[in-house]
Each structure stands twice: as C-alpha cells, then as structure tokens.
Amino acid sequence: MGNIHTQTGASPDIILSTLLGVMGMGCQDNVDVQPIEGLRYPTSLYTLVLAKSGSKKTSVFRMLIAPVIQWEKTQKAEYGAAQAEYQRHEAIWKIELKAHEKHYQKVLKDKGDVVEAHRQLDECLQQAPVKPVERRLIINDPTSEALTRELGQGYPVLTLASDEAGALFDGNLFHKISLLNSLWCGESISVSRVSRDSYFISDARFSILLMLQPELLNHYLRKKARNFGILVD
C-alpha cells in the first residue's frame, strides 16, 4: 500500500478498498470460505468506492487492475489460437460425420451390419470437438441479460469493474437486485427466454468493484427514493 500511496498520493482508504476488490476478483474462482461444516461462501466482493474528483481514485484503479488487464490480453491471444484450432478440427469432423451418416443410411437400406455402422457413427459423434471458452475477468457495462448470458454460456467468473461508474446506475442491472444477491451468494439460476435458448447458471462467481463520486450516488439514491414516493431534500 505504501508504494501505491507514494506513486499516486491517494488516501489509504481508497487504496485498501480497491486492493480488496481486485484481490476478490483474482481469487473468487479458486477459493471459497467455510466457517463451519455445511456453510460455504464465495470470496466474491461487492465493493463501492466513493471519492471526490481529484482523489486519485482512477490512478489507483488503473495501477491495481493492470495485471488483470495483462492476463486478459494473454487469455485473448490463447483463445484466438484455440478458436482457430477448433474451427479446423470441426471442419474435418463434419466431413467424417457426413461420411458415417451416409454409410449408416446405406447399411440400413441394404440391411447390412447395422450394429457396426451404428457403433462407428456413435463414436464419431462422441469425438465432436469442444468449442473453446474465452476466459476474462472484467465486464464493464452489461445489461442484466448480457451478464447472465455471459455467466451461463461463457466463462462463469466475472467482475463488474469501473473507475467511472456513474452511468452504470442508470442501466437496468441495478434494477435487478435479487439477481445481484443470488450471484453474490453463488446460487444456481435458471434463465428462460422466449426468443432465445434457455440456460442455467451454476456455481458462478461474480464480484463488483465500482468507483464514483459521492454526488452521483446521492443523485441515484434520490431518484430511487422519488420512484417509491419518498420525499428527499
């Protein structure tokens, strides 16, 4: 902390809060906490840092988040290579599958060795290449639908992180408090959509690390209060 304070001039409170948020981001998919038998909790953190303009919060955020950004760049390069290899294997596999299907249809028609043809087709189906999943830790401005889709159909470990988070509170994600509560607890969530495939979020890990100026949060809270008919000065 001392080194970060020397370089940025930020207060210890800002540095410590941000550091804890980044630590939670980095370990939430590897470590759970079990205080007593039968009770197990994620190490995911919901962190909100309030700091006025000129407090060096952005400098602290960028310094501490830099290793995560570098990790994501490495993962993106590895994903690109894995995706290219997957596409090659998939092209070959589709040709082999088509040949086995034609052979199976011919054997059925000619009343040949159906058992063996079925075994070969089934074996080919089981060898279908697995599509790689891109690993990343940070998501910046998701809707609730985009977030659940990422966790349910992509890499199930994410952190909503921003050093200028004011605009996020105008989005629909913070209208879904029950969703955020469930994600923080690591609960399983079933997502059903009329126009898209349904999916299931299981054992996902989700953290929040947001920084914003106090007046922006106060504006958001006043607006929420007015929506509930509460008068706020």
The pTM for the full model equals 0.82
DSSP conformation letters of 77-94: HHHHHHHHHHHHHHHHHH
Percent of the chain clearing pLDDT 90 (strictly above):
55
Cα–Cα distance for residue pair 127/113, rounded to 1 Å: 22
Q: Which two tokens stand for residue 69?
A: 């950004």
2-79+131-227: which CATH architecture? 3-Layer(aba) Sandwich (3.40)
HSE-CB at 163 with a 13 A cutoff on CA atoms is 18
Average pLDDT value over all residues in the chain: 89
Please report the sign of the dihedral spanned by the C-alpha atoms of residue 173, residue 179, residue 180, residue 184: negative
Most confident of 39-53, 90-104, 151-165, 200-214: 90-104
* Percent of the chain at pLDDT exceeding 70: 95
Judged against a pLDDT cut of 80, whether residue 8 lies above it is answered with yes
E strands of the chain, at which residues? Answer: 32-36, 39-42, 46-50, 138-139, 157-162, 189-191, 199-201, 205-212
Q: Where are the domains of the chain?
A: 2-79+131-227
